[in-house]
Each structure stands twice: as C-alpha cells, then as structure tokens.
Amino acid sequence: MILTQKQTCQLGIRLSIHQQHSKIDQILIHQQIELLEVLTGFETNNKYEIKNSFGQRVYFAVEDTDCCTRNCCGPSRPFTLRIIDNMGQEVMTLERPLRCSSCCCPCCLQEIEIQAPPGVPVGYVIQTWHPCLPKFTIQNEKREDVLKISGPCVVCSCCGDVDFEIKSLDEQNIVGKISKHWTGILREAFTDADNFGIQFPLDLDVKMKAVMLGACFLIDFMFFESSGNQEQRSGVW
C-alpha cells in the first residue's frame, strides 16, 4: 500500500507523540506572561511552554482565537489551542466549543476535544454536573468513559497548590493529579499566567496522556483565567 504525503505526515506525528509521551509520567505547563495584557488588561492569545520532569521543553502551545471572541467572551470563550513540537510541527489540536459557564445549565456543560494528530480525535474531557464539586469525565475516541477528575469545592490558589485528582471510573482509586501551582503573590495578583503540573502512571495509554493535557487547559480557562473585570471563578458556579 502506498501512503499519501498527508498519511505519511500523520504517521510521523503519531510516532513522535508516542515516543514523547511513553517516556513520561509528569508534565509541567508554564503559561507565558504577556506584557500587553498586564499593562492594558487587553486579552491576548495565551501561550504555554510544556516541559518534561527535567524542565526540558517538549512542546509549545498557542491559542488561536480572534480578538473579538477573546475580549467579549473572556474565560468562557471557545478556542483552538495548537500544540507544536520543537521542530515547529503541529502535533495536537485542542478544540473547546462555546458552552454554558455555570452548573445551573446541566445540559450544556464544558467540554474539550483532543486531536492527535490534528484532525484525528483521540479523546474528550466532559464536565460532569455536580452541585458543589468540579467534576470531569475523561473519554476515549469512541466517547467511552475511561477516567474521572474531581476538584476541590473551593478552587482558590491562595498561598498553595490546587489539586484536581485523576481517579478510576468508580472513583475509588487515585491514579494521578492535575495541580495548579502557587506562583507567588505578585504573579498571582497582577497576571493570569499560571503554572500547572500533571502526574499520571508511566504505563497510561499515550492517547490518554494527551487527553490529560486537554483537561489541564480546560481547567485553567474555567477556574484560573481572568479577563478584564472578570475575576477567576472559585467554584462550579
């Protein structure tokens, strides 16, 4: 069988993702500070460095959203997040549609689709309705439930880390966590540039590791992103 150039490219991207993700059990995500945003409050596209446990950059993530959407919809905005490797190749795409930003509307809660390579869905993160706790379900490409994520009742990063636990489907076993790291009083007070860490089993399916990245970005936008006069949320409401 002769592969087309597009198929060959997608196969190369899949191999690259597998090689990167199969070796890691921890990912660090550092959002870059945007000077224009700090000085003017004008919302710019978010940019992130994605590093391994040794602090080596393995990916770079950049938001692709138009100016009107960013500044009118704020943290609730739909977005496309493009994840690029060190060779400049786009290896993953995250798509967040416009959804209700409050649990008062349980039929239209938050979700994000993870594509790796771009155009090929490998999983989804779906917000699960709960009156008090931030809860999410991790699904595979067939939309079958695989894992759960549960956060604290009050999502506040005041002088400490905030942990979202990754659990088995029955929620009896904790298999990892997504942590929003405390970055200091000045950075927390004057910017919305956040640092995250993701921990998961080394033998977790590489597709699910990619989906964990999507979960982290969704959590960042939902609870730790502020825009103009809109403060970050402290809970599901």
Residue with tokens 């860490």: 197
Question: Which comes out higher in pLDDT, residue 181 or 145?
Answer: 145
pLDDT at 28: 94
Topology of domain 20-228, per CATH? Answer: Porin (2.40.160)
162-208: pLDDT as tens digits = 999 999 999 999 999 999 987 666 555 555 567 899 999 988 999 99
**DSSP string spanning 150-192?**
E--SS---SSS-EEEEEE-TTS-SEEEEEEEEP--HHHHHH--
Task: Please tell me the distance from the alpha carbon of residue 1 to that of residue 86, in angstroms, as a whole number.
Answer: 31
Structure confidence at residue 3 as a pLDDT band (50, 70, 90): very low
pLDDT at 229: 46
| Residue 228 reports pLDDT greater than 60 | no
pLDDT at 8: 44
**Contact (CB, 8 A) for 178 and 212:** yes
The one-letter amino acid code at 75 reads P
pLDDT at 11: 45
Per-residue burial over 153-163, b if 16 or more Cβ lie within 10 Å, else e, is eebebeeeebb
- The ranges assigned to domains in the chain are 20-228
Stretch among 34-43, 83-92, 172-181 having the lowest mean pLDDT: 34-43
| Residue 19 reports pLDDT greater than 60 | no
**Contact (CB, 8 A) for 142 and 133:** no
